[in-house]
């Protein structure tokens, strides 16, 4: 799975019912969480916080709800004696994951606990086939999505405008242009605050008959930097800048250290 080098994996287990609930994924760099519930859970066996998700057939819990589950099970940062608690456990600062591990994920609300494991279970690997490898925001509120299973889809945000705050993204171009791939390919994020889950993009997207490798090959063969552009045109950087200003050569990306160009505009 993408990002596994910087990911910790925990089994979520119900000690009272003696059933496997699912998996907690912790991404160390970003300090984000994703919970994967087992597919056989129903609204009675799923953790109370996730009942609405399971009722809707959603078993991959988004990062905000996953964080909420974690925070419900650890000592709150505002507790009066939090300083002495951190000192006792040799923690330099408040770290909810460290506190969760110290308590084994247990709390008084239920019989759940967590256990560190080394391998991602097969059901999570299979489900992650519909996670994203990459995503590009196109003109017209269209997302071009590349998935782990090699599927490529175009998704119109207008088709999912009823999803949480997607209408805000449609209404604000700067917000739309902040589109970025989320951790583990689980979602696309806008301004790191509005997430669209990969499963929804997969479900609502229209399949495009082209592969991710095709796009990479196109970029490799048809895009060049400033140095290569000067070689093709047999000119200096100064001359290239003049051509850009006067002759209609348009960089596809500009930067302080140089630009990127389509080769066919230079020939």
* CATH code of the domain containing 150: 3.30.2020.10
Question: In this structure, are 141 and 252 located in the same domain?
Answer: no
Give the domain range for residue 157.
131-210
Question: In this structure, are 142 and 121 located in the same domain?
Answer: no
Confidence of residue 249 (pLDDT cuts 50, 70, 90): confident
Highest mean pLDDT among 189-203, 224-238, 248-262: 189-203
What is the arithmetic mean of pLDDT over 71-77? 89
Residue 219 has pLDDT above 80, yes or no: yes
Question: In this structure, are 117 and 26 located in the same domain?
Answer: yes
> How many domains is the chain built from?
3
- Burial of 197-232, coded b for 16+ CB within 10 Å and e otherwise, reads bbbbbbebbeeeeeebeeeeeeeeeeebebeebbee
Question: In this structure, are 37 and 93 located in the same domain?
Answer: yes
Domain boundary among 105, 126, 147: 126
Q: Which pLDDT value is given to residue 1? A: 59
160 closest CA partner among 173, 148, 170: 170
Neighbours of 179 (CB within 10 A): 19
Domain boundary among 80, 103, 126: 126
Confidence of residue 112 (pLDDT cuts 50, 70, 90): very high
Q: Which pLDDT value is given to residue 5? A: 55
Residue 131 has pLDDT above 90, yes or no: yes
pTM of this structure: 0.85
Concatenated DSSP letters for 212-251? HHHHHHHHHHHEEEHHHHHHHHT--HHHHHHHHHHS----
Question: In this structure, are 115 and 219 located in the same domain?
Answer: no
**Which tens digit of pLDDT belongs to each residue from 161-171?**
999 999 999 99
What is the arithmetic mean of pLDDT over 211-215? 92
Residue 63 has pLDDT above 70, yes or no: yes
Domain boundary among 181, 210, 239: 210
Assign 195 to helix, strand or coil: strand
- Give the length of the chain: 267
Question: In this structure, are 112 and 143 located in the same domain?
Answer: no
What is the arithmetic mean of pLDDT over 206-217? 93
Question: In this structure, are 78 and 184 located in the same domain?
Answer: no
Question: In this structure, are 121 and 149 located in the same domain?
Answer: no
Question: In this structure, are 120 and 137 located in the same domain?
Answer: no
Question: In this structure, are 95 and 183 located in the same domain?
Answer: no
Question: In this structure, are 115 and 23 located in the same domain?
Answer: yes
**How many angstroms separate the CA atoms of 173 and 162, rounded?**
18
Q: Which pLDDT value is given to residue 20? A: 97
Question: In this structure, are 181 and 232 located in the same domain?
Answer: no
């Amino acid at each position: 799975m993408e990002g596994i080098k910087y990911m910790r994996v925990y089994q979520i287990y119900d000690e009272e019912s003696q059933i496997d609930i699912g998996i907690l994924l912790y991404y160390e760099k970003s300090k984000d969480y994703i919970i994967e519930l087992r597919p056989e859970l129903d609204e009675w066996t799923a953790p109370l916080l996730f009942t609405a998700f399971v009722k809707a057939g959603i078993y991959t819990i988004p990062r905000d709800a996953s964080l909420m589950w974690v925070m419900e099970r650890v000592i709150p940062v505002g507790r009066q004696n939090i300083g002495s608690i951190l000192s006792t456990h040799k923690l330099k600062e408040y770290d909810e994951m460290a506190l969760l591990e110290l308590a084994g994920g247990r709390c008084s609300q239920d019989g759940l606990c967590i256990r560190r494991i080394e391998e991602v279970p097969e059901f999570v690997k299979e489900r992650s086939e519909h996670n994203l490898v990459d995503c590009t925001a196109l003109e017209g509120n269209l997302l071009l999505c590349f998935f782990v299973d090699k599927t490529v889809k175009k998704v119109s945000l207008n088709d999912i405008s009823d999803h949480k705050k997607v209408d805000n993204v449609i209404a604000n171009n700067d917000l739309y242009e902040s589109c970025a791939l989320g951790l583990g390919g689980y979602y696309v994020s806008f301004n790191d605050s509005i997430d669209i889950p990969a499963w929804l993009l997969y479900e609502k997207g229209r399949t495009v008959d082209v592969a991710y490798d095709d796009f990479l090959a196109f970029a490799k063969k048809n895009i060049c930097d400033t140095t290569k552009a000067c070689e093709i045109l047999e000119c200096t950087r100064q001359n290239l800048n003049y051509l850009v200003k006067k002759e209609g050569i348009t960089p596809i990306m500009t930067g302080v250290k140089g630009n990127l160009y389509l080769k066919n505009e230079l020939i």
